[in-house]
Structure 1
Amino acid sequence: MQFLGMLSSNVAAVTAAVACLHWTASAQSTNSSSGLAIQLSVANNFLNGTTDGHVTVMFAPSGTDPLEDTDVTSSPNLFFGMNVFGVSAAKTMTLASTNAINAVTGVWGFPVVSLNDVPAGNYSVQAYFTKYEKVNRSDGSSISVHFPCGDGAPNVDGFGSLTTAVLNVSISGDPQSVDLVFNNITATEAFTGKEIGGCSQGNYEDTENLKYVKIRSEALSKFWGRSMYVGANILLPAGYDPNDTETRYPVIYSQGHWPADAGPFRYPSANFSDAWDNGTIPAENGKPARPTPKMIMVSFRHETPFYDDSYGVNTANLGPYGDAINDELIPYIEKNFKTIPEPYARIQIGGSTGGWISAASAIFRPDLFGACFSSYPDSLDFHRHQDIPLYTNTNAYLRANGSAIPSIRDFENDTQVILATVAQENHWELTFGTQSRSSLQWDVWNTVFGVQALNGYPLEPWNKVTGEIYPYAVEYWKHLDLANYIVTNWNNSRNLGKVLSGRLYIYVGTWDDYFLNEGVQEFQKRTDAIGGAGWANITILPEKPHGGNYQSREIWDSLELFYDWIQDHGPNGTTPLAKNVTLASARGNNFTEVLAYGGHQAALQRQSPPSITGGDHCDGAGGCVFQASVGRWDPGVSLEAQWLISGKPVGEVFEVAQGDSLSYAPTTATKRSSIQLQVTGRKLGYVDETRKSNGIQLRR
């Protein structure tokens, strides 16, 4: 497949800026290493047969562990990645840059794109091989991905990955080869062979108040064509007695990233565990000692082949995770623990990723959950996807004036400092995987919010290298634009204007590290416009960054707030949750509809071949004109066309674009000739495809 021979000037400028901002490796010279190649081989007994996968090579400052800091905002490393195919112990893999940068079949680097640009100097170099497994999903799509093994789906060096030893290397600046051997395999500290239930979503050893459950999801297993599991960490209140047949407890479902063996609150105050286990909140902040709220708290374990978290909804790329959690795992929890199985007693909370999940869960399943308390959620309205005006901008990396769109920030002495741009994060992600397989943030948004592409992977909303936005692909995000979903289902059969009123509580700070306040503000603007000011309970606190508990409360204060809401909306409360707002008719995100909208069959239906019309009353020697369309292709596919007369090419191949209308007047055809248009499409990660139009017979 062809790729852009050279980066666009804008992207090249962004890449250069990245190098200036983030690369601080201790090189001895600024001379580049033209002709640098990395030779990779696999030691005996480390591979059975052949496999596809992705190789990442890191150059760290000499004497440092390359894995010590791999973050885009701070790492001193140079990162290089390449997809590999049919790897065996007998095959040597070569990473070497050429003038044509190809992020799928060639080497892609960050913050310098090419291996030829590695400055001369001393480095500690290590390589990591993420092995892919090919799966055939039930909707007819086939993809190759890495399945996590109870390790939270890390972006590099995950369970089962092959690694090389760290090699100290002096890069000379002249043509040079560095030889690395994959001679180790990554295990996970989580499992020692005694885990309950095996690798996927593995369980941990129970403690008195912290229990672990895991189930095989029938829905997910059917979709993926292999066994898939979901799990939960369950924190029981003090005094919980499994033999007590009378006492039941409300449940707080805490959403967020993969929690490993931790409880729902992974970063509590120092005295949280003791107080929870003892059942008494100590006197603090002017409040007397008091009993802990008697609730069960649950966090989920649902890492996926694309990220450490599925986002808790049904999606075309990840499958029915919403159904697996809500219709399989939660009923299992309610069967085995003393819960109150009513919507008013099921509350969703979470921050960041968990903030979006908690909001989406309450919005899509008002029949199941009473309310959400969502903190600094990922983009609730894609008019602002972080700081990208996704529906109106032409580029995800650049504003109209050519300045870079920021992604991560901090505030120093009340002054905003940009730590990374959208381009930098996306280019960094490419070194860990293509086709949205990096297991990092922007890629999982493509995976969750988008639909399937023709090749089975997520239909990405923009060109990962240049940032060019594909409006046609972005249009398919609207079904998971939560503001759009609410307003388009406001007074129809779902009746969300009434059903969700007073049940959505959302908090963010104006200094959010990831600009997530902007999506919350857009959400508020759209819901207020149709429901009146305050339809959703939204708190935007000045100068608060990303992180912390809901409304920046102390942990016990926030838990008591949730508990009070449950008491107020229970059958004996001051404002009981009405039965007519928890009906199944309000349920959304139906997986059958999701697949029909964005699955593999939908991707096939989006396509069409070229077509040709016209040519009436041709005399075969000219004087007639044919009109043609180039057909429908996935966004981002580059197209070349050629006219055919009686199946044979005529004239030169020429470039065309999606939506083009063409005309052609043949000059050399005979009366028995037929005319066709042939179009070839190419895109990164796709197999080159040639489609032909219908043929029209020339006639006198």
Structure 2
Amino acid sequence: MTNIRPSFSLRTLLTPRTSLIALLFVSILPIVSAKPHGIHVHLSTGAVSIGNGTSGRVMFILSPNGTDPLDDIDDTTTPDFFFGMNVNNVKHNDTIKLSGGTRHNTDRGVFGWPLETLDDIPVGIYRAQAFLKRYDTAVRSDGSVVRLKFPCGDGSPSVSGVGDLASDVIDVHVSGKGQTIKLHLNNTVPFPDFQGHEVGGCSQGNYEDTQYLKHIKIRSKKLSDFWGRDMFLGANVLLPHGYDAHDNTSRYPVIYSQNHWAEGDGPDSYSTRASFKEAWDSGIIPGSANTTDRETPKMILVAFRHETPYYDDSYAVNTANLGPYGDAINEELIPHIEAHFKTITQPYARIQDGGSTGGWESAASLIFRPDLFGACFSSYPDSLDFHKHQAIPLYNSTNAYKYPNGSDIPSIREFVNGTQHILASTATENHWELTFGTSSRSSLQWDIWNAVFGVQGLNGYPLEPWNKVTGEIYPEAVEYWKSMDLAHHIVSNWNSSLRLGEVLRDRIHISVGTWDDYFLNEGVAEFKKRVEALGGSSWAEISILPEKTHGGYYRGMEVWDYLELVKRWVDDHAPNGTTPLHANLTPRSARGNIWSEVIGRGGHQAALARQSDPVIKVSGDVVGTVGQWDPGMKLVGRWVINNRTSEKHGCATFNVTQGESVHYRPKSIGITDQVQLWVTGRKMGYVEETRKSNSVTL
């Protein structure tokens, strides 16, 4: 089998380069379009067994001659061309056919990036490969039914996940004339050959232990009940030098390190560094010319493994689309860790940390669970305040891709000699994601935000906050995000029964650079402004560091200095410390993100409850409302007279919007008619639906 290894979709671990590379690649080839004749791609499925029928997402990738299509699939660096299409009920010996491309029918047609259609591929020599991401059908406990790719201990890659079908890589010459490119989906993607080796079952991985590095995996009852199938959680546990399982007196504080998918080599924000491992295993931090050797801090470091069907991790909170991951981690996995390792089981000794995605997760874990954790040390976190979601003024904008002056809203940047260069816009990234999956199923960054921060749509998938093609923002959908706006949660509960103004004082530690690659400093600045307006500048430690970019440890510190800082915080807030974390500051009453409230507000039953049919009444004319629909639905109305729907009977269609009143005035007086209003709703990711009003007699 050739080139079918999983490819991780961890945007924050990539090193961006200029997005001009993609344009330069196009420009150095002869620009001779094949459009007059058309390019067709045929994918055969006869080489492997795929059961009675498979649904999923087909991906066709073209890369420059001599390169591997999976070597570099990031949107800021790749010169590849991507094309995706949803498929249903694919069987053995079927042929999947791709042609053309569209920006309008992303559910059934081919969606391409950066080219819109297959016919726009420039003449040239390429290497081609195709994949079929296989979806499973899940019936969740709230009644929603979804088709998703369930990961298999591989970090939920956007393409080429375990069990997917893949073709061999072939050389292709695009001639500029009509042609058919044929590939055979003749391989099944195996479990990846990581540094560790998976032991016993596929979900969440499990790896071989060493003296100080241990691995655990549990079946989560909470998640299994929600998804209607076995769901697992895992963790890598790094024990301090000298840890003795038979020592019944020593207990250690724990740093719960939030990050992306953690493979088998430890808490990945730390122990992937060889120098760290050497010092940790020996227990001695080597000195320099000006310093002496010192002991490593005596703490346990834990990294979670909680990949989901939507991303390589769950964001460690309860969400209507992913399920009760917050409760599963905090009430199933952490108690399991504490039962098997010698931890201090009090909030002051449980610390949350992480960067980027992990920065948001660590802050949210503390803010929602101050009864469980003592403090967070969060670096360059995802948007803490949705007044700025990256660079999007989400609450005040009409479009996620354009500022009011028409300029592009940026998403990724770099600084060269102090000058900012934009590598990708929000439109670029969202369109790139759409090639990997519709309905927020790409397993990439913007889509997981939709799944975590938003509620379920009527279709069972995340209620997207904007149109992924046009960028049009749906304010009603954005309103549901407020429960995950951490600044909003704190400010709203400053003096409520949660008492967050008092409970969280001096426990939040956040750092970010003004040159953050993903504009995350803007959300931190909004968060800082809102909490300091109530608590003053000393309420939380929020450091916005001049000219620092995305990456590194908290406040740009060296790893050992940072770990010793955390250890000092733990010691200071211990019962015999200088500033003990008293029980009145860790009450269960301060909890947020309560699962029953999350699913009640955002699950399938809530989606059903917010729908309604059209209603009409006679008030001179016939006056009607179009009913309630999910945000973003394009609605077409039709007056139906005496059950006749043809236009020759006066039943022409007309566009309507939610909240709009519609009127019907009969053409003849004295004629008795039965009148009804039919409204048809259409939206990407939804089945077209027609709803009928009550009937009135004129």
TM over 0.5: yes
Check conservation: 2:196, 2:265, Cα contact below 8 A: no
Letter in 2 for 1:635: P
Pairing 1:439–2:435 present = no
- CA separation of 1:410 and 1:400: change in aligned 2, threshold 3 A: same
SS in 1 for 2:457: coil
- TM superposition shift of 1:46: 2.9
> Counterpart of 2:651 in 1: which secondary structure?
strand
The equivalent of 1:692 in structure 2 is 692
Whether contact under 8 Å (2:196, 2:208) holds in the other structure is: no
Task: Return the offset for 1:27.
Answer: 6.4
- Quick one: which amino acid aligns to residue 131 of structure 1? R
Instruction: Give the corresponding residue for 1:503.
Output: 507
The equivalent position to 1:613 in structure 2, one of 599, 611, 617, is 617
Partner of 1:619: none
Alpha-carbon deviations, 1:114-140, whole Å to 9, x = none? 111111111111101100000100000
Distance apart, 1:586 and its partner CA: 0.4
**Alignment equivalent of 1:354, drawn from 353, 358, 369:** 358
- Give 5+ residue unaligned stretches, structure 1: 1-16, 616-623
Provide Cα deviations, 1:153-184, integer angstroms capped at 9, x if missing partner. Answer: 11111111111111111111111111111001
Number of matched pairs = 674
Q: Secondary structure at the match of 1:89?
A: coil
Deviation at 1:20, TM superposition (A): 8.3
Q: Which deviations, in whole Å up to 9, do the C-alpha atoms of 1:451-509 show, x marking residues without a partner?
A: 00000000000000001111110000000000001111111111101011110000000
**Aligned pair in 2 of structure 1 residues 139, 22: CA closer, same or farther (>3 Å)?**
farther
Counterpart contact for 1:27–1:119, Cα < 8 Å: no
- The 5 A counterparts of 1:499-648 are 499-615=503-619, 624-648=620-644
2:164 to 161, 175, 180: 161
Say whether residues 1:93 and 2:99 are aligned partners: no
- Alignment partner of 2:233: what SS? strand
Q: Is the 8 A contact 1:26 1:61 kept in 2?
A: no
Query: Alignment partner for residue 395 of structure 1, among 392, 399, 404?
Result: 399
Q: What pairs with 1:108-507 in structure 2 (closer than 5 Å)?
A: 108-190=111-193, 195-266=198-269, 270-284=274-288, 286-507=290-511
Check 1:652–1:398 CA distance in 2 against 1; reply closer, same or farther (3 A cut): same
Q: Distance in 1 between matches of 2:102 and 2:547?
A: 46
- CA displacement, residues 386-428 of structure 1 (integer Å, 9 cap, x when unaligned): 0000001111011111111110000001000111111001111
**Structure-2 separation of matches of 1:493 and 1:336:** 35
State percent identity of aligned pairs: 58
* Deviation per residue, 1:277-309 (Å, 9 max, x gap): 111111138432111111101000000000001
| 1:84 to 2:87 alignment | yes
Q: Determine helix, strand or coil for the equivalent of 1:392.
A: coil
| Partner AA of 2:50 in structure 1 | L
Segments of 5+ residues of structure 2 without an aligned counterpart are 1-17
Q: Residue 21 of structure 1: CA displacement?
A: 5.5
**How far did 1:605 drift?**
0.8
CA offset at residue 189 of structure 1? 2.5
Q: Post-superposition shift, 1:261?
A: 0.8
String of CA shifts for 1:664-691, please: whole Å, max 9, x gaps: 2112476653222110001111111000
Q: Secondary structure at the match of 2:288?
A: coil
Measure how far apart 1:646 and its partner are.
2.5
Equivalence for 1:656: 656
SS of 1:695's equivalent? Answer: strand
Q: Distance in 1 between matches of 2:668 and 2:150?
A: 57
Name the TM-score, length of structure 1 as normaliser.
0.94
The 2-side partners of 1:208 and 1:469 are apart by: 52
Please give the alpha-carbon distance, in whole angstroms, between the structure 2 residues aligned to 1:415 and 1:341: 48
Q: Secondary structure at the match of 1:244?
A: coil
Distance in 2 (CA, whole Å) between partners of 1:664 and 1:143 is 39
Cα displacement string for residues 174-229 of structure 1 (whole angstroms, at most 9, x for unaligned residues) = 11111111001111224799733300012100011000000000000000000000
Q: Which stretch of the first structure deviates more once superposed, 395-404 or 642-651?
A: 642-651
Q: Is the 8 A contact 1:254 1:354 kept in 2?
A: yes
> 2:48–2:187: 8 Å Cα contact kept in structure 1?
no
Residues of 2 paired with 1:153 and 1:403: CA distance?
34
- SS state of the match for residue 384, structure 1? coil
The 1:191–1:19 alpha-carbon spacing in structure 2 relative to 1, beyond 3 Å, is closer
| 2-structure distance, mates of 1:100, 1:501 | 49
Q: Is this contact kept in 1: 2:642–2:674, CA < 8 A?
A: yes
Contact kept, 8 Å, 2:270 with 2:276, in 1: the verdict is no
Q: Deviation digits for residues 618-664 of structure 1, max 9, x if unmatched? A: xxxxxx31211111111111110011223223331111112211122
Distance 1:606 1:290, change over 3 A: same
Alignment correspondent of 2:682: 682
Q: Confirm or deny: 8 A CA contact 1:639 1:681 kept in the other structure.
A: yes
CA distance in 2, matches of 1:309, 1:373: 19
Distance 1:191 1:68 in 2: 17
| Residues 1:176 and 1:577: Cα distance change in structure 2 (over 3 Å) | same
User: 1:667 matched to which residue of 2?
Assistant: 667
Please say if residues 401 and 425 of structure 2, whose CA atoms lie closer than 8 Å, have aligned partners that are also in contact.
yes
Per-residue CA distance 1:63-112 (angstroms, 9 max, x = gap): 21101111101101001000011101232111101567421110001111
Q: Equivalent residue for 2:8?
A: none
Distance 1:449 1:99, change over 3 A: closer
CA contact (8 A) 1:27 1:121 kept: no
Structure 2 residue matching 1:132: 3-state secondary structure:
strand
Of the structure 1 ranges 280-289 and 588-597, higher mean CA displacement relative to structure 2 is found in 280-289
Amino acid at match of 1:502: D
**Residues 194 and 263, structure 2, Cα contact 8 Å, conserved in 1:** no
In 2, Cα distance between the equivalents of 1:33 and 1:20?
Answer: 22
CA distance in 2, matches of 1:353, 1:100: 30
> 2: CA distance between counterparts of 1:27 and 1:101?
30
Greater alpha carbon shift after TM alignment, 170-179 vs 265-274? 265-274
SS at match of 1:663: strand
CA distance in 1: counterparts of 2:689 and 2:24, whole angstroms = 40
Give the whole-Å Cα distance in 2 for the aligned partners of 1:351 and 1:23: 33
Task: Report the equivalent of 2:33.
Answer: 32
Q: Secondary structure at the match of 2:376?
A: strand
CA gap of 1:183–1:265, structure 2 versus 1, over 3 A, is closer
Instruction: Give the secondary-structure state (helix, strand or coil) at the position aligned to 1:24.
Output: helix
Q: Which moved more, 1:163-172 or 1:41-50?
A: 41-50
Moved more, 165-174 or 124-133: 165-174
Query: 2:103 & 2:565 partners in 1: Cα distance?
Result: 58
User: Is 486-495 or 181-190 further displaced after alignment?
Assistant: 181-190
| Other-structure match for 1:6 | none
Report the TM-score when normalising by structure 2.
0.94
